[in-house]
Amino acid sequence: MLVVLLVRCARAPTEPQSETATLSLTDEMSGVRLANVELRLNGRRATTDSLGRVGVELDSSSTLVEVFPYKPVALALRRGEQREVRLVLPASLRRYERMLLTAKRQGYILLGVYNWWTRREELAGSRFIILRHDVDYDPETAKAIAFVEQLVGAHSTFYFRWVTETREAVDFVKCAGHEVGLHYETLALYCEAHDITRPEQVTDGVLARCRTLLKQEIARFEEAAGDIHSIASHGAARNRLLGIPNAVLTRGQNLEAFGVEVDASMLEWHLNQEGIDIFTADSGDRWTRVSLSQALQKGFERIYTLVHPCWWRPRMWGRFAVYRP
C-alpha cells in the first residue's frame, strides 16, 4: 500500500471512534492513500490521519464526502463499517495526473525551476522535466495542480501575478512542497499607467525606472510570500501592443541586484546553453508546437514545460473568477 503524507498545514486528524464508520480515502488513479488531508463530511470539517483514515458520525442516512479537488461522493454507511473510498479527480485533472505518472514511470525527475537550477550540473545526464506554472488568472486551479503534483511526488514552481497572489493560494502551494515566485508585469503596468502605446516611447529612462520598480515589487512579494529565488515575466496585452516583453527588464542584468537567481522566462531563449532539449507550453486548450505527452513519446530527455493552471480548470467548477488581460 502506497501512502503519501500530503502535508497541507492541516489541523489534527479526526480519529475514528467505535460509534462511527471509518473511511479510508484513496486516489483512484494512483492508489495513493490521502493522508493528512482536510475534507468535509456532511459539511463538517475533518482531517484524515497518517493512513488516510477518518471517522464519520452517522447522524443521517447519507454521508457527503468532499475532498478538494476531487468530485464529491455520497455514501450510505453502516455503524462500525470500514470502507475504502477511491476518490476520482475531475477529467482535466485526471489527464494531468496521468501525464505526470507516465513521466514518473519513464524515469523522469519532476522538479521546479530553482530546484533544477541548483542541481543542473548533477542532473546533466538524467531525465528530468522542469515544471513551471504561470498563475495568470486562476489561483483555485493552481491549488488543485499543486495537490496533484504532491500526490505523485512531483515538485514545481508557481509564479503568481499580483491579481492572483492570495495568501490562501500561496500558503497552500508552499505547504504542498512547491516553490513560489513573482509573475511580474512591471513594464506593461507602467506603460498602461503612463499611456505609452508606441515602442519608441519605451526609452532607456523608462526601462531604468521599471527596473527599480521591479526590485521593489520583488521585495514586497517576499514580505507577503517569504523568500523567493526565481521570477518569470507575464505576457500582457500592452506587451503585445508594444512588441516588448516584460523580460526586457532582466535581460543582460545581474539578477542578484534584483534579489533572485533565476528568471524562468530567460530559460526559454537559452535551452541549448542550459542543456535543455525542448520547451513545451500550453495555450488555451492546445499546446504550442509539441505537447508534454508528445515530448515524452518522442523520447526527449530534458524537458522544460510551462503549464497554466487556468487551462486545466474542471468545467464543473465554472469559469475562473480572476481575469485581467
- Grid coordinates representing 245 are 516583453
Query: In whole angstroms, how far apart are CA 111 and each of 9, 64, 171?
Result: 21, 35, 19
Over its length of 325 residues, how does the chain's per-residue pLDDT go in tens digits?
A: 454 555 556 566 655 444 689 999 999 999 999 999 999 999 999 999 999 999 999 887 899 999 999 999 999 999 999 999 999 999 999 999 999 999 999 999 999 999 999 999 999 889 999 999 999 999 999 999 999 999 999 999 999 999 999 999 999 999 999 999 999 999 999 999 999 999 999 999 999 999 999 999 999 999 999 999 999 999 999 999 999 999 999 999 999 999 999 999 988 878 877 889 999 999 876 888 899 999 999 999 999 999 999 999 999 898 766 545 4
3-state secondary structure of 130: strand
Q: State the Cα–Cα distance between residues 133 and 142, nearest whole angstrom.
A: 8
Its sign, for the CA torsion 256, 258, 264, 268, is: negative
The pTM score is 0.91
Backbone angles phi, psi at 261, to 5 degrees: -115, -25
Surface-to-core class of residue 208, CB atoms within 10 Å of its CB (0-12 exposed, 13-18 middle, 19+ buried)? exposed
Structural domains in the chain plus CATH codes: 3-87 (2.60.40.1120), 91-317 (3.20.20)
End-to-end Cα, the chain, rounded Å: 46
**What angle separates helix 167-175 from helix 139-152, to the nearest 10 degrees?**
10
